[in-house]
Amino acid sequence: MRKPPWLNKKIDLKACHTLKLLLKDLKLHTICEEAGCPNISECFSKRTATFLILGDICTRNCRFCGVKKGKPCPVDEGEPERVAEAVRRLNLRHVVITSVTRDDLPDGGAEQFAQTILSIKKTMAKSTIEVLIPDFKGNRRAIERVIETGPDVIGHNIETVPRLYPDVRQAADYFRSLEVLKTVKTLSNGIYTKSGLMLGLGEEEGEVLEVFKALREAECDFLSLGQYLPPSLKAYPVKEYIHPDKFDDYKEKALSLGFLYVASGPYVRSSYLAEEYLK
């Protein structure tokens, strides 16, 4: 499908150069680079990025994602401190950390999230911290371990409507993902929860609205809605380019259900302008 005129953002490699050097120096990954985010030059030029911990190889094979799949490397115990050093060098007021899914680890990588949060708090005590976690296979203790370290926001993306999970997210489970968000609210005191959907995968409006309702029933606070753009020719094909007016309509419908903040637009991603959610 040919892209419509509103999807015309270009990547400026020169704008990315300085931050790429810093990341290379600290041997760190970002989801911005690994997933081929179209907002990378905008964010990197502002000296902000979403850190990708637990390596750059995912144990799952979601068809929408551009991150490498396969057998991951052992957990890098020095990674949390290097992320904290990057936060210090960039003087980030709001930090976003995500990870590949590590089904090979008993805790799914929860301890690495915990250590990264604690390292940032030790180095940059005034920074707010947001983590975008995998489902940890529903491991309640793993979720609790992340909560114990006190991030300001815990996100877990629902990604799409339940009907499309068998085609798009074969190793994931829609109801398990909802349960992750419910568990955070049950176990935490004052931590915001956040989720996101990609649109244009073949979902119908009624299905999208049902997901909104399910997220609110799980007491999810924040929501992001963006256009799905295939990261490669082998990825799941885009079925529809959603008009910006439709994104505005979805935003109004979501806000009417009680979300505290909704970001909705073709180039919105779950960690794009993440600091705005807390203002």
Share of the chain above pLDDT 90, in %: 84
Q: What is the mean pLDDT of residues 38-46?
A: 90
Mean pLDDT value across residues 130-140:
97
pLDDT given for residue 79 in this prediction: 98
pTM for this structure?
A: 0.96
Would residue 228 count as lying in a domain?
yes
> 142 by DSSP, 3-state: which?
helix
Instruction: Determine, yes or no, domain membership for 52.
Output: yes
Residue 56: pLDDT above 80?
yes
pLDDT at residue 2 in the model: 87
Q: Which residues contact 184 (CB under 8 A, 6 or more apart)?
A: 143, 147, 154, 156, 191, 193
If one counts the domains in the chain, the total is: 1
Contact assessment for residue 157 and residue 195, using Cβ atoms and an 8 Å cutoff = yes
Instruction: Please report which helix (H) or strand (E) contains residue 96, including its range.
Output: strand 94-99
Give the residue ranges of DSSP H helices in 26-127: 31-34, 40-45, 79-90, 110-123
β-bridge partners, 68: 57
The alpha carbon dihedral of 49, 54, 58, 60 has a sign of negative
pLDDT of residue 208: 98
Each residue of 239-271: pLDDT tens digit?
Answer: 999 999 999 999 999 999 999 999 999 999 999
Q: For residue range 184-211, list pLDDT tens digits in order.
A: 999 998 999 999 999 999 999 999 999 9
**Residue 274 pLDDT:** 95
5 belongs to a structural domain: no
User: Which pLDDT value is given to residue 35?
Assistant: 85
The residues, any chain, with a CB within 8 Å of residue 133's CB and separated by 6 or more, are 98, 99, 110, 113, 143, 146, 154, 155, 156, 180
**pLDDT score at 62:** 85
pLDDT for the residue 233: 85
Domain carrying residue 82: 13-278
Q: Is the pLDDT of residue 165 over 80?
A: yes
Tokens 């983590």 -> residue: 131
CATH number for 170: 3.20.20.70
Digit-coded pLDDT (tens) for 213-223? 999 999 999 99
The answer to whether residue 4 is domain-embedded is no
**DSSP string of 238-259?**
P--PPPHHHHHHHHHHHHHTT-
Give me the pLDDT at residue 177, please. Answer: 97
In a domain, 45, yes or no: yes
Question: What would the DSSP string read from start to end of 162-231?
Answer: GGGHHHH-TT--HHHHHHHHHHHHHH-SS-EEEEEEEE-SS--HHHHHHHHHHHHHTT--EEEEEE---S
Please tell me the total number of residues recorded for the chain in this structure. 279
Mean pLDDT computed over 33-41: 88
| pLDDT value of residue 193 | 98
Q: What is the pLDDT of residues 58-98, one digit of tens each?
A: 999 888 888 889 999 999 999 999 999 999 999 999 999 99
Mean pLDDT of the chain: 95
Q: pLDDT at residue 176 above 90?
A: yes
HSE, CB side, 13 Å, CA atoms: give it for residue 76: 20
Higher pLDDT, 235 or 180: 180
Q: For residue 150, tell me if it sits in a domain.
A: yes
The answer to whether residue 176 sits within a structural domain is: yes
What phi and psi, each to the nearest 5 degrees, are found at residue 197?
Answer: -130, 145
Q: Is residue 1 part of a domain?
A: no
pLDDT of residue 13 exceeding 80, the answer is no
